[in-house]
Structure 1
Amino acid sequence: MRIGLRTWEVRLGIVLVASSIAIYSVKYLLLGDPENTYQYIFNALGFLPINVLLVTLILNQLLSIRAKRDRLEKLNMVIGTFFSEVGTALLAYISARDPDLRGAHQGLVVTDAWRPETFGAVRDRLKDHTCRVAVDPGDLQELCGYLKERRDFLLRLLENPVLLEHESFTDLLRAVFHLTEELERRKDFASLPESDIAHLTRDVERVYGRLIVEWLAYMEHLKCNYPYLFSLAMRTNPFDETASTVVR
């Protein structure tokens, strides 16, 4: 493969150089004036390094932009898979135990009318909001089983090199893994003291806060790029008590 590429490059170089020689030869034969031809050749050679520099910078910038766009697309595909397999259901489960669901989080009912500035305003408001949940031993037992069943899937996500460029989503996965490990190490949730319940509750709240932020960013991405996926995401919004997958 590499040999073939070099052969193609060499052939292209030969063709281009031969074309230049042919053009200058025709100019000399038709117009004469060799001094003017030589002067033009040296002028062109003098500008060649600058020309190469400009073309290299422009091409490099264009390639960088395209590579970044491709990485973002792959990243959003991975994030979409996370929410399809784990995130949305996890967010629905935790938000159902949020005593303030009808209060501060009522503004998370995303609609078609939302604009980029709407998403930005909600993100700014979430920075100053502290998530709270109320969970009991039964909730923790159920949450433990849910996360254990999806542990292998989450591990494969964490191994994906694309996620290295998305620190906030990686932090979310770390928080989910930490919560999973904490829950797996408990055997009998019914006998846990209040202090341990409070500790696990804080772990759940950490996941909850990060999950909301990433979910909101994913919703904005869908609205801007994939209207049909955004439609389903709106109809399964865990913060909308009237949400229904049935289109009415």
Structure 2
Amino acid sequence: MRSINIRTWEARLGIALVLSSIVVYTVKYLLLGDPENTYHYIFNALGFLPINVLLVTLILNQLLSVREKRKRLDKLNMVIGTFFSEVGTGLLAFLSDRDPALPEIRQDLIVTDAWTPEKFSTVRERTRRRHSRLNIDAADLQELCRYLTEKRGFLLRLLENPVLLEHESFTELLRAVFHLTEELERRGDFAALPASDVGHLAGDVDRVYNRLTGEWLAYMEYLQRNYPYLFSLAMRSNPFDETASPIVRV
């Protein structure tokens, strides 16, 4: 059996509380007498103790869990925000320009502060079902390879961040981006690639684009709900909006 280490603060606190109860009941008995009433009070208190424990466990623990979850969510979205600032927004702008269907759906992706949670949910679901096919050629693959290779160190640090383990869909996006980076880095002359290999790489690019769009929408919704000033800049930097500008105009 493991012995209790009385040097720990938990053990010291427990001993102090028990001794305090003994002192209180002893003083009550010495000053007021009536040991029978004291015994009744002790048993009444002990009878209510399980209910106290239940209330503390269900309510206080739940409140602490909600608070801790909110803190983890803030940390997680801070990391996601860094990803979009360093890699995601630029990558999304590059890939969306190669989306032949973008003119038809562009208006659906112009996020505004009037969007409701239902609107975000509807657009995300529509985007998830769409499965875009981009027009990617060898020159585009060469440009993507250069861009992602420059960001390789940053992407590796993100993959090592334990906070991201709690966000499965974003972790899958990072894996897709990193896989595409590895595929591109192992090619030589992109102009000499056969059509079959270009098609294979285009499939990897499509995977990144579709997942990246969904994560961008989720992040925009988070900013709108929690950080209006960050959301304002994100709206003015919308990678799907050809007229987007960070300059605030009346």
Q: Tell me, yes or no, whether TM beats 0.5.
A: yes
Aligned to 1:184: 185
Question: Residues of 2 paired with 1:212 and 1:7: CA distance?
Answer: 51
Question: Residues of 2 paired with 1:33 and 1:141: CA distance?
Answer: 91
Q: Deviations over 1:153-206 (max 9, x none)?
A: 101101111111111111111111111111111111111122221111111111
Equivalences for residues 77-226 of structure 1 within 5 A: 77-226=78-227
Q: Deviations over 1:88-110 (max 9, x none)?
A: 00000000111111112430100
Aligned to 2:72: 71
Letter in 2 for 1:16: L
SS at match of 1:124: helix
Contact 2:128 2:214 in 1 (8 A): no
Question: Residues of 1 paired with 2:90 and 2:233: CA distance?
Answer: 14
Equivalences for residues 55-70 of structure 1 within 5 A: 55-70=56-71
Q: Percent identity?
A: 75
Q: Give the C-alpha shift of residue 10 in structure 1.
A: 4.5
Aligned length: 245
Question: Residues of 1 paired with 2:15 and 2:166: CA distance?
Answer: 41
SS at match of 2:103: coil
SS at match of 1:204: helix
Point out 4+ residue stretches in structure 1 off by more than 6 angstroms: none
SS at match of 2:188: coil
Aligned to 2:228: 227
Q: Deviations over 1:121-162 (max 9, x none)?
A: 111212321212111111110110000011111011011111
Structure 1, unmatched stretches of 5+, are none
Question: Residues of 1 paired with 2:200 and 2:183: CA distance?
Answer: 10
Q: Give the C-alpha shift of residue 60 in structure 1.
A: 2.7
Question: Residues of 2 paired with 1:95 and 1:143: CA distance?
Answer: 13
SS at match of 1:103: helix
Aligned to 2:34: 33
Stretch moving more, 23-32 or 79-88: 23-32
Q: Deviations over 1:64-93 (max 9, x none)?
A: 222221211111111011000000000000
Stretch moving more, 89-98 or 116-125: 116-125
Question: Residues of 2 paired with 1:13 and 1:177: CA distance?
Answer: 51
Contact 2:92 2:212 in 1 (8 A): yes
Question: Residues of 2 paired with 1:242 and 1:212: CA distance?
Answer: 19
Contact 2:106 2:241 in 1 (8 A): no
Q: Give the C-alpha shift of residue 222 in structure 1.
A: 0.6
Structure 2, unmatched stretches of 5+, are 1-5
Aligned to 2:53: 52
SS at match of 1:128: helix
> Closer, same or farther in 2 for the Cα pair 1:12/1:187, shift >3 Å?
same
Question: Residues of 2 paired with 1:245 and 1:51: CA distance?
Answer: 55
Q: Deviations over 1:17-75 (max 9, x none)?
A: 34323433343344432111112112212332442343234333222222221211111
Question: Residues of 2 paired with 1:62 and 1:105: CA distance?
Answer: 41
Stretch moving more, 186-195 or 214-223: 186-195
TM-score by length of 1: 0.91
Question: Residues of 2 paired with 1:68 and 1:169: CA distance?
Answer: 17
SS at match of 1:102: helix
